[in-house]
A and B are shown apart, each in its own frame.
Chain A
Amino acid sequence: MRFMMLMIPKGYEKASPGTMPDPKAVEAMMKYNESLQKAGVLLALDGLHPPSMGVRVTFPGGKPKVTDGPFSEANEVLGGYWMIEVKSKDEAIEWAKRIPASENEIVEVRQVQEMSEFPADVQKAAAGFSDMREQGGRRKQG
Chain B
Amino acid sequence: MTATDTHRTIDAVWRIESARLIAGLARIVRDVGLAEEFAQDALLAALKQWPESGVPDNPGAWLMATAKHRAFDLLRRKKLLERKREELGREIEAQHEMATPDPDAALDDDVGDDLLRLMFTSCHPVLSTEARAALTLRLIGGLTTDEIARAFLVTEPTIAQRIVRAKRTLAKEQIQFEVPRGVELAARLSSVLEVLYLVFNEGYSATMGDDWMRPQLCEEALRLGRILAELAPNEPEVHGLVALMEIQASRIRARTGPSGEPILLLDQNRARWDQMLVRRGFAALTRAEALGGADGPYALQAAIAACHARARRAVETDWTRIAALYEALARLMPSPIVELNRAVAVAMAFGPAAGLSLVDTLTDDPSLKAYHLLPSVRGDLLAKLARHEEARVEFERAASLTRNARERAFLLQRAATCARETSPLPR
Is there contact, CB below 8 Å, between B313 and A130? no
**Interface residue count on the B side (C-beta < 8 Å):** 29
Is there contact, CB below 8 Å, between B225 and A137? no
Is there contact, CB below 8 Å, between A91 and B271? no
CA distance A133 to B223 in the complex (A): 31
The B contact surface, by secondary structure, is helix
Is there contact, CB below 8 Å, between A40 and B227? yes
Q: Enumerate chain A residues within 8 angstroms of B288, measured Cβ to Cβ.
A: none
Is there contact, CB below 8 Å, between B15 and A40? no
Q: Enumerate chain B residues within 8 angstroms of A130, measured Cβ to Cβ.
A: 269, 271-272
How far does the Cβ of B22 sit from chain A's closest Cβ, in whole Å? 14
Is there contact, CB below 8 Å, between B313 and A37? no
Q: A29-53, CB under 8 A of B: which get 1 and which 0?
A: 0000000011111011000000000
Residues of B241-289 contacting chain A, CB below 8 A: 253, 258, 269-272, 276, 280
Q: B185-228, CB under 8 A of A: which get 1 and which 0?
A: 00000000000000000000000000000001001001111110
| Residue among B12, B16, B313 making CB contact with A39, cutoff 8 Å | B16
Is there contact, CB below 8 Å, between A91 and B12? yes
How far does the Cβ of A9 sit from chain B's closest Cβ, in whole Å? 23
Assuming the contacts A40-B227, A44-B276, asked whether A141 and B312 have C-beta atoms less than 8 A apart, the reply is: yes
Cβ of A27 under 8 Å from chain B:
no
Is there contact, CB below 8 Å, between A115 and B253? yes
How far does the Cβ of B24 sit from chain A's closest Cβ, in whole Å? 14
The chain A residue with its CB closest to the CB of B280 is A43
The chain A residue with its CB closest to the CB of B60 is A98
Q: Which residues does B use to contact A, with CB under 8 Å?
A: 8-9, 11-13, 15-16, 112, 216, 219, 222-227, 230-231, 253, 258, 269-272, 276, 280, 312-313, 316
Q: Which residues does A use to contact B, with CB under 8 Å?
A: 37-41, 43-44, 83, 85-88, 90-91, 93-95, 115, 120, 123, 127, 130-131, 133-134, 137-138, 141
Listed by A's residue number, 30 A-B pairs whose Cβ atoms lie within 8 Å are A37-B230, A38-B112, A38-B227, A38-B231, A40-B223, A40-B226, A40-B227, A44-B276, A85-B223, A86-B15, A87-B15, A90-B9, A90-B12, A91-B16, A93-B9, A94-B9, A94-B13, A115-B272, A120-B258, A123-B258, A130-B271, A130-B272, A131-B269, A131-B271, A133-B271, A134-B269, A134-B270, A134-B271, A137-B313, A141-B313
